[in-house]
Amino acid sequence: MAKGKYQKWLEPENLILLEGWARDGLTDEQIAKKIGINRDTLNDWKKKYPVISDTLKKGKEIVDYQVENALLQSALDGNTTAQIFWLKNRRPDKWREKQDKDDNSALEKLDDILGEVKRNAIHGKTE
């Protein structure tokens, strides 16, 4: 590994490339491989050079929002798996798998909702 290789990746055009790779869904390990370094070196660069860390975060954030929006749209379109996933992750206080023995109301509510969705699907009703 050439000494000072990181300097190349601090240049604006290479920061754009890093952001694009992150936005395309590449992992840090895959990005490090494209750069020609190991993941530990990339982690060191991220600590020493905040611009590299911020650039990678920015790229990942964009695609994370796109996936989040797609999941939400899928849930709103009636995908019950997406609905359950969304509720369990966004409202774990109400929708977690393991409930307190005395509080099964969230599970009962989910059963009611899913039953209504199923009945509406069978009878062709939409809201």
DSSP 5-33: GGGGGGSHHHHHHHHHHHHTT--HHHHHH
End position of a domain, from candidates 15, 30, 64:
64
85 and 116 belong to one structural domain: yes
pTM for the whole structure: 0.64
**Pick from 12, 32, 37: which is nearest to 21 by CA?**
32
| Residue 69 covered by a domain | no
End position of a domain, from candidates 64, 88, 106:
64
The number of distinct structural domains making up the chain is: 2
| Residue 71 covered by a domain | no
Q: Which domain holds residue 117?
A: 78-123
Q: What pLDDT is recorded for position 2?
A: 46
End position of a domain, from candidates 33, 64, 95:
64
Q: What is the pLDDT of residues 14-44, one digit of tens each?
A: 999 999 999 999 999 999 999 999 999 999 9
> Residue 64 above 90 pLDDT?
yes
Going by pLDDT thresholds of 50, 70 and 90, the confidence category of residue 13 is: very high
What are the start-end ranges of the H helices in the chain?
A: 12-23, 28-35, 39-48, 50-76, 80-90, 92-95, 105-123
Considering only residues 126 and 60, tell me which one the structure prediction assigns the higher pLDDT: 60
